[in-house]
Amino acid sequence: MQLIWNGLIVGSFYALVALGYSMVYGIIKLLNFAHGDIYMLGAFVGFFTLSAFGISNETSIPLLLVILLLSMVTTGLIGVGIERIAYRPLRKSPRLAVLITAIGVSFTLEYGVRQIFGPNPEAFPIRLESAGFDIAGVRVTASQIVLVVIAAALMLVLAHIVERTRQGRAMRAIALDPQGAQLMGVNVNRVIAIVFFIGSSLAGAAGVMAGAYYGSIDFLMGFIIGLKAFTAAVIGGIGNLYGAMLGGLLLGLLESFGAAWFGGEWRDVFAFAFLILFLTFKPTGLLGARVVERM
């Protein structure tokens, strides 16, 4: 039981980041390797804002929500900016060119932040109260509950946008057939920008939550989670929203059990072994649609 709960906590981080991965892939078939670094940026935007106001060691949840929204808007705009500057000019280029650009963007963000904030890990100024209590033999902390509630709320909002709004319909149309959508009068550039905004703000939110939950942030924190989120997106079926959520939670659980059975040093081996297994035997993932061409 404890393992399941631990897995769900980590899994909700993976799911939030994987959603952005998956949405971007779904709509323009790009693996945005800079996505993990947006997560890092989210944490640093929160850190910068709070430090500017001289806040440290705070535990208030309303303040966290304010910072969360602020970071989401900022990282969302940064995401749109990245798409405009780095990806849109290359949209007609070979996929490999865009992929390499994405890696370049990733490095730019990582070492840009390192230039500004320095290489040392920083302590995040808001910490969630984390006194633990036991429910049915499971050790649960208040901060974990806050975390899961926020993550679930964000995912519900996202599902609503995609399923029930005009913009959501436009997104699904572009994912299906970009040229067809354009012929039907959908403003493709605008919708793609919106997708980047939403995906990046979710990653930014995850970054702030990671800062508040774990307490330590550094300029390379997005690297591993970016890879894990990619794995989660593949497991769930890349391009599929519910697949990304499911894949994230599933990967969290897999890691939690993997680490318990084989020891902590095998956690990543276990996670990435699943990536390879899925790519080999079921490249479309659990919920993915059949796609002919794939990077």
Smallest gap from Cβ 250 to other proteins, in A, equals 16
Residue 224 interacting with other proteins (CB under 8 A) = yes
Report helix, strand or coil for 58. Answer: strand
When asked if residue 265 is in the footprint of other proteins (CB under 8 A), the reply is: yes
* Cα distances (angstroms) measured from residue 79 to each of 21, 85, 155, 217, 286: 12, 10, 19, 20, 28
- One character per residue 28-57, x = contact with other proteins (rule: CB under 8 A): -----------------------------x
Q: Is 119 exposed, middle or buried (0-12, 13-18, 19+ CB in 10 A)?
A: exposed
Can you tell me the distance from the alpha carbon of 110 to that of 66, in angstroms, rounded to the nearest whole number? 25
Q: From residue 92, give the alpha-carbon distance in Å to each of 97, 139, 175, 202.
A: 10, 51, 16, 27
Binding mask 200-219 for other proteins (x = CB under 8 A): ----------x---xxx-x-
Report the site for other proteins in 105-124 (rule: CB under 8 A): 118-121, 123
Q: Which of 267, 274, 275, 288 is the binder for other proteins (CB under 8 A)?
A: 267
CA distances to 123, 191, 195 from 241, in Å: 33, 16, 12
- Of 187, 264, 276, 295, which one interacts with other proteins (CB under 8 A)? 264
Q: Which residues pair with 81 in a beta bridge?
A: none
Residues that bind other proteins (CB under 8 A): 2-3, 6, 9-10, 57, 118-121, 123, 127, 130, 132, 134, 139, 141, 210, 214-216, 218, 220-221, 223-224, 255-256, 259-260, 263-265, 267-268
